[in-house]
Structure 1
Amino acid sequence: MKDGAVDPKQKAILKAAWNAFAAYGFRKTSMDDIARGASMSRPALYLHYRNKEDIFRSLAQFYYDDAVEEVRQALSRDAPVAEILADAFVKQGGSIKEAMLTSPHGLELIDTGNVIAADIAEDGEARLTEIYADWLQREAKVGRVTLTAPAQDMAAMFTTALKGFKQVGEYEAFRSHVDHFAALSAAGLTARSAC
């Protein structure tokens, strides 16, 4: 979460919620756990959020807002294509991906997100796809990459594959998949015809 974009009380609530979800899982976390972690009363917590589903949706929204900004910055760098993609793919996961995959409740949190915040995830994935498509088109125009399909389709392959990697269950495996996928994608995008 970007510090300037969130009111301090809301930031404290979201941080406490994330810590509770990671420690106890979504189902076992109570509003009391979140209020205690945010150093406020449960009635004060309800002034900001209706329930823990509402809090979880806010966490999902902040994750995608941050991921969009981080990926946009990674793709604006001047570096080899493989390096740019590796950085963007890691930034798309963000620190929350590491926290999820190192939590004993990570897969439950991923499943919860797929149910409670499916609309937020769909919108976030579409925003990320658009950013990758714009980057691919810019890079193709200057001859740094070769598109073998429409940029939008190739960008959708990036986001779909990265979304699937979170199911691997361990952060080290996730990072390995991301690194290999970036190298493979860059090799395909920069391969030149041997004619």
Structure 2
Amino acid sequence: MGTDRLDEALDAAYDCLRRYGARRTTMDDIASAMGVSRSAVYQYVRGKDDAFRRLAGRLHEQALRQAREAVTADAPYAERLHGVLAAKLGLVLQLAGDSPHAAELLDGRTRLFGDICTSFTAELRELLTGLFTESGTVAGVTPAEAADICVALVVGLEGAPDPRSLLGPATDALATGLLGTAALRENA
């Protein structure tokens, strides 16, 4: 199976999802958007549910790749923390900005995407826990608790009027409160 053609099928599925939503999209819609016959689409995906699951997986994996790069960057801890949180927020804002239907790919309660969303959040939490384990946290806060606070912050920002502009100051406040000033200077 050609990766390029699979990507085309997933791109076509995303286009249809944005326009119609997961329920209303048909394999004929995906085939039409891809410019091939319906039977040709089945060479790349087993059906529309498979296409949407693969699409959700691809988008979440891209965000995780950005988060992993941020964690391993040669940068101060606060900057690395910002990069991880920006990857999560960026995914949400991209999908919500593209279409209300595209945001369906973020719904952890759905049968189709729930496990992908749950795994994404778990891996993000693991990356953050590792970062806080490496950097150290202020007394009374474990690395896992610090990671949970960060995830909760990003989830809260998702509904804010201008989340991108709030992410920087929010990350700075978190870094100061969770890492302490010694850790901020140490890796600078």
Read off the aligned partner of 1:68 and give its amino acid letter. L
Taking structure 2 as the reference length, the TM-score comes to 0.80
Work out which of the residue numbers 154, 167, 172 in structure 2 matches 1:162. Answer: 154
Read off the aligned partner of 1:130 and give its amino acid letter. E
Partner of 1:118: 114
Confirm or deny: 8 A CA contact 2:95 2:103 kept in the other structure: no
Distance 1:86 1:10 in 2: 32
Partner of 1:15: 11
1:160 shift after superposition: 3.6
Are 2:26 and 1:34 equivalent residues in the alignment? no
1:98 shift after superposition: 3.3
Are 2:145 and 1:153 equivalent residues in the alignment? yes
Distance 1:9 1:57 in 2: 16
1:111 shift after superposition: 6.3
User: Pairwise CA RMSD of aligned residues?
Assistant: 2.7
1:177 shift after superposition: 4.0
Confirm or deny: 8 A CA contact 1:60 1:113 kept in the other structure: no
Distance 2:23 2:162 in 1: 26
Deviations 1:146-179 (A, max 9, x none): 364221222122224324543x2x8x62323433
Report the 3-state secondary structure (helix = DSSP H, G, I; strand = E; otherwise coil) of the residue aligned with 1:74.
helix
Report the 3-state secondary structure (helix = DSSP H, G, I; strand = E; otherwise coil) of the residue aligned with 1:191.
helix
Work out which of the residue numbers 117, 123, 128 in structure 2 matches 1:127. Answer: 123
Partner of 1:101: 96
Deviations 1:73-99 (A, max 9, x none): 1122233333222222112334x4333
Distance 1:176 1:27 in 2: 34
Distance 1:76 1:128 in 2: 13
Read off the aligned partner of 2:173 and give its amino acid letter. L
Deviations 1:29-63 (A, max 9, x none): 22222112222211111233233222221122222
Distance 1:113 1:32 in 2: 27
1:191 shift after superposition: 3.0
Distance 1:52 1:83 in 2: 39
Read off the aligned partner of 1:8 and give its amino acid letter. D
Read off the aligned partner of 2:130 and give its amino acid letter. D
> Judging changes above 3 Å, is the alpha-carbon distance between structure 1 residues 123 and 20 closer, same or farther for their aligned structure 2 residues?
same
Read off the aligned partner of 2:146 and give its amino acid letter. M
Partner of 2:175: 186
Distance 1:129 1:87 in 2: 14
- The alignment covers a number of residue pairs equal to 180
The alignment-based identity, stated in percent, is 26
